[in-house]
Chain A
Amino acid sequence: MSVNGTRSNTKFGTWNSANLSSIEGALTSDEHASMGGGNTVPYYNLLSFFGRFNYSYKDKYLFTAILRADGSCNFAKGHRWGYFPSVSAGWVVTEEPWMESTKGWLDFFKIRGSWGQNGNCSISNFQYNGQISLDGQYDFTYGQTNPVIAAYPQNIPNRDLTWETSEQLAIGFDSRYFRSRLGVIFDWYRKDTKDWLVTPPVMGIVGASAPSINGGAVRNSGVELSFTWNDSIGDFRYSVGLNGSYNKNNVLYINNADGIIHGEKKIISENVAKEDGFRAEPGKPIGYFLGMASEGIFQNQKQIDEYNAAGYTFMNGYEKAEPGDVIWIDQNGDGKYDEKDCVEIGNPHPDFTMGFNLSLQWKGFDFSVNGSGAFGQQVMQSYREFALRDTQNYTNNLLARYWTGEGSTNKFPRFSAGSHNNFKCNSYNSDIFIQDADYIKIRNITLGYDLKSAIKRLPFQSLRFFVTGQNLFTFTKYDGMDPEVGSGAPGYSWSSGIDTGFYPSPKVYMAGVSIKF
């Protein structure tokens, strides 16, 4: 078998760039497809050196130091190398002779601490220099059948671009008790991502695409605790695991002119957000939701009159409120509702996450359950423009949320046709779109039976029948399709928790047989 092909006239006129995609007279999309490739050939040139020093004294005192130097081709000469040291130390307390007295119940106890740095260089190639793209074209023929190449500077170079560093400090212990039936692990950590590699939007007047920058620092800190218990009673074996962690996310600084990395404005249905719907800003969690806050719904005219009498103003253009309208908060009390009244209205990061599992075995039977949960985070939900026209599609749970009369709800406004400040909110994003999204999910339940345990002469090592259900139960008050919204706004890798309608985790039922020979 052989493959060959000929095309002449490379765009660059050099042998080195004689790859198929650099051919003059651009390839048709069909030709691209038949080559099974796109137009990019990324480099992953990475050069690493590292030295490790290990020290262990009687398995009691442990010490490790690592120094690594990593060089990446993604940065300009002089900015290529990152040095990442790390040290860790451990002390197995239970190895100490003076711990003999606890041997009866404490099997193992190790205290450890570590500090270290790691690097990240995963950005697209050649961000450090100005690239001339050759993929423009224009046709200067009368017959309009011969487009020629147009070359243009496509990006703003950032020659100072260098490694992103993540620095982690952790202290904790591993321990086992009662003949190793109980295990307890605890950690406190603080992880700082410095020189964060990010591509923030750039002002249009620069006339080319935005450079990646070393854009700031983000801190995650928290504690993790996990318990496991394994034991058996006769033929019955079981294990239980439970872990939980508390985490706080906080942006430390942003390295650009206004100290903020702006997010998408129109992330909620069109026209709604005049100010960023989310952003990265020092002192706040990364990708926090920004917008107008509300304090309930006007339930009756009396409430509106009182509000009016107290000197509060309504939204510009809406001098009069009706029962069922949102009570917006004029944060600075200047009688206007504008970007100065936009505040943090939600945080996409959970404060607390947990996981659990349970497994049981008895004779040939086995049973297991595992699940997880997350608490304290919010989701910004944007399926449709909510009240423009009754002919639009929305999910029916929305109908249940509307205010329908005094006392019906204090969270969601009345239905109104046309554009209305209950939703547009002077074209700012608002907490009407924000929901708490705490959840607990049972991810997997499995029941199995191994026939081998009943019929010993089966010619297999094991013949196990099982049924499994995945994602069978979700406990949440979030009314969207799935509270576990990982994704954020398209093109903003650092945003999260924005539900623009994604494919939810499917419920799966499986039955199967596994045979071991």
Chain B
Amino acid sequence: MKKILLTLAACLFVLVSCEKIDSLLDTTNYQKEDTESYPTNEKGAERLVNSAYSTMHSLYTGSIFRINLFRRMIASDDYYGGGSTSSKETTAADRLLAPSMDEDNSPWKSYYNGLHRCNFALEAIADMDDGLFTGDNKNWFLGQAHFMRAFYLWELAERYETFPLTLSTEVENMPKASVDEIYAAIAADLVDAINLIPAKYGYSRDNNLAGRATKYAAEALMGRVWLFYTGFYKKDNMAGITKTQVISWLEDCANTSVSKFDLEDDPREIWPYTNEYSSGVAYGEDFGTYVNKENLHWVGNHSKETIWGVHFSLTGSGYNRLPEWIGMRNSAQRPDKDSYPYAAGSNGNASVNPLAVQEWYEDPDYGPTDKRFYGSIMAVKESSLRKAYASWMKDDFYVELPKFKGHDSKEIERTLFYPKKYQAVACYTDGTKSSLYNNFFHAINGSVSNNPKSGNKNDAIYIRFADVLLMLDELKETVTGMNRLRARAGLAPYDSYSFERLQKERRWELFTEGMRFNDLRRWYPETAGEIIQKNQDGGYIEFKGKPTTYQELPGRSFSQRYALTRGFWMIPQEQIGLQEGMLTQNKGFEDNDDYLFVDGDLPY
């Protein structure tokens, strides 16, 4: 019997070890390529680079906290929080708290997906034979991947300060890198991007070029990161990169004959609310909106002023939830004639700080003649508005939506001022004004969903040309750029540079765009919290329809939270668990800190 069994076993082994039989199990994946062999040609290399861009879309869907721009907008003194009592995320962002322990888990993973894709592209493309590429395409692809890696690292650095620095596809459990290691890595990637991406690719509307990272985007991002690092950490250079170098890169970027990026003629025409469907111009009509009165015409996405931003496709997947998150709300949560042209289909999460509005309005260097004033903010609900702000609001103050009522039983920090730049916008379906689309992108292209949430396809803009001009003025202490922006806004030029003027110009040019928070942090690393608190406290709000004033949470005011966190956010608790012993929590979010915001905790 033993013999029989042994024979049986032997037969099986012979069969199985036979190559012919084993090869019957060979399978080819017709759905996916293999990392061992991909890419084999230029097209594959380009697709790997594309994936570094496509990851950005995942930061614009899903929960609010994924969108760094939104978080920075709300945390700054441009906005209060708002929304309803269940919009915990917004209130948490406004007060440097966390709505849950893992709110940052999905953006954290997205950032590292982005880094992994950049690392893979860099490694795989570097290994490819130069002969596979047309012209200088290899450098072009590598340069874009370096730029994208720098961008993700910068977003992480601005958000978490320190984090595990993964610069290769082989990743082991590792602790946070030091601040200097991180900024050295960003600087190195940006220098590579500047050197590798051919200078011929500037602003372009050509197929396959629109929205790609350029040498100039790398130069502008270098300016942004350098200013933050040297300001926040009080250094005079960043990993050996000097102010002189940064100035020369920014000058190269601002030189329109090279980069082709430039200012638009009117600062308002960058933003979707000026589109011709909502104003009726596309239908040959005049709908009598602010945009009609000011004769504005949207330049469309991909403005020549957008040096770096996230772009979306009208026909492809991916959409921008930012307009939804900062969008207004009425009780029906859909547009009507009182909200027109705004969609009003959201949660009213972002109300503009009325103290900032007052400051702008009363500043003799600015005031309501600044085209950007009514171009950036709108006032609503005239009856309450005039009463609430009677002390400073003159009779000719323009109320864009006098009859808009919002949603009294829901809105918690309504100031009656809303931001316009990223506001979700509706439009009439034709010239008769008889029916509405929730979302004007649906009128542009019928394949865009007519949904106030998933139908928003506007650019999320990280760096505008105006910002580059302002960075140059700040570094060189000149007024050239500021005066170009002032002339464009219809204001008299400044005769000389002062830091205070530069600060004001940056504030109002970039108002509600999500730049202010980091400007304050780099200018006032220790006291930004006190400044923001002082600039916000006591402003008028309506809590579920009842007038009151904006207040801090007892025991954890903005300045207290800033003193602990310095404006950095929470490392997702889940990742700390998964990286057992290696990853540590950020200050202000540790076990003994009172950092969780739960609905019901509001001080009203």
A400 at the interface (CB under 8 A from B): no
Nearest Cβ in chain B — how far from A443, in angstroms? 40
A274 lies within 8 A of B600 (CB) = no
In chain A, what residue has the closest Cβ to B113? A207
Please choose the segment from B423-431, B463-471, B558-566, B570-578 that sits at the chain A interface, where 4 or more of its residues have CB less than 8 A away: B570-578
B12 lies within 8 A of A201 (CB) = no
Tell whether A265 pairs with B317 under 8 Å between CB atoms, given A141-B207, A146-B207.
Answer: no
A399 at the interface (CB under 8 A from B): no
Please choose the segment from B3-11, B181-189, B266-274, B347-355 that sits at the chain A interface, where 4 or more of its residues have CB less than 8 A away: B3-11
In chain B, what residue has the closest Cβ to A55? B1
* Contact residues of A between 402 and 445, Cβ < 8 Å to B: 417-419, 427
A257 lies within 8 A of B173 (CB) = yes
Chain B residues with Cβ below 8 Å from A134 are: 32-33, 47
A145 at the interface (CB under 8 A from B): yes
A194 at the interface (CB under 8 A from B): no
A53 lies within 8 A of B4 (CB) = yes
A68 CA to B445 CA, complexed, in Å: 60
A417 lies within 8 A of B100 (CB) = no
Chain B residues with Cβ below 8 Å from A143 are: 314
B535 at the interface (CB under 8 A from A): no
Chain B residues with Cβ below 8 Å from A271 are: 100-101, 596, 598
B50 lies within 8 A of A149 (CB) = yes
Chain B residues with Cβ below 8 Å from A22 are: 30-31
A276 at the interface (CB under 8 A from B): yes
Tell whether A125 pairs with B29 under 8 Å between CB atoms, given A51-B11, A207-B112, A208-B116.
Answer: yes
Please choose the segment from A36-44, A213-221, A355-363, A462-470 that sits at the chain B interface, where 4 or more of its residues have CB less than 8 A away: A36-44
Chain B residues with Cβ below 8 Å from A45 are: 24-25, 27
Chain B residues with Cβ below 8 Å from A133 are: 32
A7 at the interface (CB under 8 A from B): no
A196 CA to B117 CA, complexed, in Å: 30
Scan A196-212; emit 1 where CB is below 8 A from any B CB, else 0: 00000111111110000
Nearest Cβ in chain A — how far from B12, in angstroms? 5
- Counting chain A CB atoms within 10 Å of each CB, the highest count among B5, B24, B205, B577 belongs to B577
B102 lies within 8 A of A142 (CB) = no
Question: Which of A69, A204, A338 contacts B12 (CB under 8 A)?
Answer: A69
A276 lies within 8 A of B34 (CB) = no
Chain A residues with Cβ below 8 Å from B54 are: 136-138, 150, 152
B5 lies within 8 A of A53 (CB) = yes
Nearest Cβ in chain A — how far from B361, in angstroms? 37
B29 lies within 8 A of A126 (CB) = yes
A184 at the interface (CB under 8 A from B): no
In chain A, what residue has the closest Cβ to B574? A265
B573 lies within 8 A of A41 (CB) = no
* Contact residues of A between 11 and 56, Cβ < 8 Å to B: 12, 16-17, 19, 21-22, 26, 39-41, 43, 45, 47, 49-51, 53, 55
Scan B104-142; emit 1 where CB is below 8 A from any A CB, else 0: 010011001111110110000000000000000000000
Nearest Cβ in chain A — how far from B107, in angstroms? 10
In chain A, what residue has the closest Cβ to B173? A203
B208 lies within 8 A of A152 (CB) = no
Please choose the segment from A71-79, A95-103, A499-507 that sits at the chain B interface, where 4 or more of its residues have CB less than 8 A away: A71-79
* Contact residues of B between 121 and 172, Cβ < 8 Å to A: 164, 166, 169, 171
- Please tell me the number of chain A residues within 8 Å of chain B, measured between CB atoms: 84
Chain B residues with Cβ below 8 Å from A232 are: none
B36 lies within 8 A of A129 (CB) = yes
B313 at the interface (CB under 8 A from A): yes
A81 at the interface (CB under 8 A from B): yes
Nearest Cβ in chain A — how far from B402, in angstroms? 33
A157 at the interface (CB under 8 A from B): yes
B315 at the interface (CB under 8 A from A): yes
Question: Which of A16, A17, A257, A274 contacts B101 (CB under 8 A)?
Answer: A274
Question: Which of B27, B102, B302 contacts A265 (CB under 8 A)?
Answer: B102
A207 CA to B164 CA, complexed, in Å: 12
A397 CA to B44 CA, complexed, in Å: 59
B51 at the interface (CB under 8 A from A): yes
A131 at the interface (CB under 8 A from B): yes
B27 lies within 8 A of A73 (CB) = yes
A53 CA to B51 CA, complexed, in Å: 56
A68 CA to B105 CA, complexed, in Å: 45
B390 at the interface (CB under 8 A from A): no
Question: Which of B313, B457, B600 contacts A388 (CB under 8 A)?
Answer: B600
Chain A residues with Cβ below 8 Å from B164 are: 205
Chain A residues with Cβ below 8 Å from B445 are: 144-145
A128 CA to B57 CA, complexed, in Å: 28
A317 at the interface (CB under 8 A from B): yes
Chain B residues with Cβ below 8 Å from A201 are: 574, 578
A231 at the interface (CB under 8 A from B): no
Chain A residues with Cβ below 8 Å from B579 are: 203, 205
Nearest Cβ in chain A — how far from B101, in angstroms? 6
A148 lies within 8 A of B35 (CB) = no
Question: Which of A19, A49, A146, A208 contacts B15 (CB under 8 A)?
Answer: A49
Chain A residues with Cβ below 8 Å from B47 are: 134, 148-151
B312 at the interface (CB under 8 A from A): yes
Chain A residues with Cβ below 8 Å from B30 are: 12, 16-17, 19, 22, 41
B8 lies within 8 A of A207 (CB) = no
B101 lies within 8 A of A144 (CB) = no
A205 lies within 8 A of B112 (CB) = yes
Scan B187-215; emit 1 where CB is below 8 A from any A CB, else 0: 00000000000000000011111111000
Chain B residues with Cβ below 8 Å from A19 are: 30
B601 lies within 8 A of A418 (CB) = yes
Tell whether A71 pairs with B315 under 8 Å between CB atoms, given A16-B30, A154-B32.
Answer: no
Report which A residues bind B (CB closer than 8 A). 12, 16-17, 19, 21-22, 26, 39-41, 43, 45, 47, 49-51, 53, 55, 65, 67-69, 71-73, 77, 80-81, 83, 125-126, 129-134, 136-154, 157, 201-208, 257-258, 262, 265-266, 270-271, 274-276, 316-317, 338, 388-389, 417-419, 427
5 pairs of A and B residues whose beta carbons are closest in the complex = A207-B116, A130-B35, A147-B316, A139-B313, A152-B51
A-B contact pairs, 13 of them (CB 8 A): A53-B8, A130-B36, A138-B51, A138-B57, A140-B208, A140-B311, A141-B207, A141-B208, A142-B210, A203-B173, A207-B171, A257-B580, A316-B592
